[in-house]
Amino acid sequence: MTSPNHPALEATNLWFAYGAGRSGLHGVSFAAEAGEITMVLGASGSGKTTLLKLCKGLLGPQRGEVCVLGRPVVAGRRQRLDPAVAYIPQHLGLVRNLAVLDNVLTGALARVAQLPSLLRHLPAVEHRRAHALLERLGIGHKADEKVHALSGGERQRVAIARALMQEPRLLLADEFVSQLDVHTSRDILTIVRGIADGGVAAVVATHELDLIDRYADAVIVLREGRKVLDRRAKAGSVADFALALRA
């Protein structure tokens, strides 16, 4: 459980630079609370993906620190990452040659025995859990299909099921509804809302303003790697956020 003294996620003064010509992050700080959806708004290249990768530990900040549930995130290219933080990349990162169920089961890899898992033998309880998640997300009947045969919305659900399989305390989702139609986007974000209501902190990067009203509890706006706005969603209007994006 989240300690009462610590937010689920606390990023402090994060600095990150790529090579020349590619913007990074310049001293970004923010916090995300359990049970809430924090939306990270920004145009392409504003640093949303970099911020989420720093929070996951896929990148290490040149300055600053990320803490999840009060513990610092240790980054490294070959470091084992914390399964309590689930990460859904923009194009979902599903393994095309694996079946839906196998993709979901990968979410359990951190807590199962090594050798049997390498022989693709995972405990029955994990199989039951994966099936239950797929049923809950409405794609139980697709468990044995290969991912490449699914529709966009179904793939999104598989990615969410894999993330939930980790039993996360923090969910990081990077523009993962950007390629869906409005109706499907709303379905998926309703699922994320349900996950947050279960006590998980959700951080969703997006450039779509119209999702804020309905789903966000807190909003931060990034522009050229700098945080230009950090506000409760109810404390601002869509016009405020649009202005912050473009100003």
Partner 1 sequence: MMGRAPRVLAAWLRRAIVLALIVALIGTLHNVGLLDPERLLRAARNLAIFGAGLFPPNPSTLPTLGAAMLETIQIAFAGTAIGFALAVPLALLACPLLFGPVVTAPVKLVLALVRTVPALFWAIVFVVAVGFGPAAGTLAVAVYSLGYLGKLLYETFDGVDPEVIEAVRSVGCSRAQLARYALLPEAANGILALLLFMFEYNVRASSIMGFVGAGGIGFYLVGYIQLLRYDLLLSGLLLTLGVVILIDRLSAVVRRMFLVPVASPVPAE
By CB under 8 A, is residue 91 in contact with partner 1?
Answer: yes
- CA 31 to chain centroid, in Å, comes to 14
Should residue 35 be labelled a site residue for partner 1 when binding is judged by CB under 8 A? no
Question: Is residue 217 a contact partner of residue 36, using CB atoms and an 8 Å limit?
Answer: yes
Total residues at interface with partner 1 (CB under 8 A): 48
| Among residues 4, 19, 20, 120, the one that binds partner 1 under rule CB under 8 A | 120
Among residues 181, 197, 210, 213, the one that binds partner 1 under rule CB under 8 A: 181
C-beta atoms surrounding 39 within 10 Å: 25
Residues 106 and 166: their CA atoms lie apart, in Å, by 9
| Structure tokens belonging to residue 123 | 């405990």
Pattern of binders to partner 1 over 157-176, x per CB under 8 A?
A: --x--x--xx----------
Query: Tokens in use for 151?
Result: 């529709």
Decide: 9 and 55 in contact? Cβ < 8 Å: yes
Question: Closest Cα to residue 107, out of 72, 77, 140, 134?
Answer: 134
Minimum CB separation of residue 86 from partner 1 in Å reads 7
∠93-95-100 over CA atoms, to 5°?
Answer: 110
Q: Taking CB under 8 A as the rule, does residue 184 contact partner 1?
A: yes
Single out the residue of 96, 128, 141, 232 in contact with partner 1 (rule: CB under 8 A). Answer: 96
Verify binding: residue 102, partner 1, rule CB under 8 A: yes
Asked whether 107 and 165 are in contact (CB, 8 A), the reply is: yes
Name the residue nearer to partner 1 (CB basis): 183 or 246: 183
- Based on the shown chain and the rule CB under 8 A, indicate whether residue 81 belongs to the binding site for partner 1: yes
Positions touching partner 1 (CB under 8 A) are 53, 56, 58, 78, 80-83, 85-98, 102, 106-110, 114, 117-118, 120, 146, 148-153, 155, 159, 162, 165-166, 179, 181, 183-184
